Amino acid sequence: QVENAAVPPTTAQLTALVGAMFIDITRRYQEKGDFTGLLVTELTNPDFPKSVTLQDFYKFIGKFEIFDGTGDAVPLVQQLLGEITSVTMVIRGVGWSTTLANVLYNSVYQLQKVNDAVAEAYTDMRNSRVIGQLVAATYHSSQRVSGSWAGTQTYDEHVYDAFRWAIKKLRALLDNLTNRPISTAPGIICLCNSQDSWDIMRVINGALGGSGGAARGYNRAALPISSLIEYDQGATDGFTYGKETLSFPGITAGTAYLLVPTYGYVLNKRGLTLETGMGNVLQLSQEDRAWYSVQTDFLRDLLGSSYSAPPTGHESGYGAIVQIVLPTEET
């Protein structure tokens, strides 16, 4: 900083620095636990309009028919035009201004703190647009399973049965678009709190412990759950930002979710983008930076009957997610 104050850096040096910072922030947010791509289908298209209709990202459909081949037209592939619902692109961003005081008194690690803050803010925003909506939903009885202590089974047996019932409910749910049972072929994802992950992982692998401990444990068939994701809260949940207390809630202990990741959508028009510019000389600002992204999301088909406004006739038995309330372990 002292050297640059005496000898201003060249354009090439500034370009290299900005490029390195952008790569660093991208790497940092990826390491912070952005689960968006694991939970929904992400589509990126810089040509997305501001308002995107469902037919723009739903698949096309066709059927091979018999035809004479003497001038008659072949049947055409069609778009699924029945949906007129649209979602709107939203720009979200955050900035940083390098003041004279920063240049005079702060060391280089200050920029590392900025990079960390941007990475955490971006990751929390992304997770909140998916996980935040999933945990905020009120789940219909067709998409909810409550574990209980009925009978004389052990805790692990009750958890196993709760997940087994949840998988059966999940596979019985209908697709909003086709009215057919959803496909779980892409895999079933489990979202849970870190306090429950060890119990859940053990149970879905079929390694059940007895009430007297591991010595009485035994095996059952492993459950068809492809991966388990822990998410307790966002990195900045509970922190103060100006006069606001940030809120990025996650999965509460004692609750878990099973979902199929191909039924929710996040549409990206522009990913994380950095803009830089000269500061304001009247404020002795040396340089200004702004990070932003342009995206929207559509979780109606994932939430199904638990969506805030499900399609008419789809108020029960639709979606691709099930909430599990775990049984309370005896102490």
Q: Are 109 and 72 in contact (CB under 8 A)?
A: no
Share of the chain above pLDDT 90, in %: 56
* Whether pTM exceeds 0.85: no
Rounded Cα distance, 290 and 295, in Å: 17
Strands 207-210 and 321-325: unpaired
- Structure confidence by residue, pLDDT tens digits, 230-272: 999 999 999 999 999 999 999 999 999 999 999 999 999 999 9
At residue 215, does pLDDT exceed 50? Answer: no
Rounded Cα distance, 107 and 151, in Å: 64
CA dihedral for 109, 115, 118, 119, sign (positive or negative): negative
Concatenate the DSSP letters of all residues of 110-171 into one string.
Answer: HHHHHHHHHHHHHHHHHHIIIIIHHHHSPPPGGGEEE----SS--HHHHHHHHHHHHHHHHH
Residue with more model confidence, 279 or 320: 320
Domain ranges of the chain: 2-48+89-325
Residue with more model confidence, 290 or 218: 290
φ and ψ at residue 218, rounded to 5 degrees = -155, 175
Rounded Cα distance, 268 and 40, in Å: 12
Q: Report, as an integer, the average pLDDT of 101-120.
A: 79
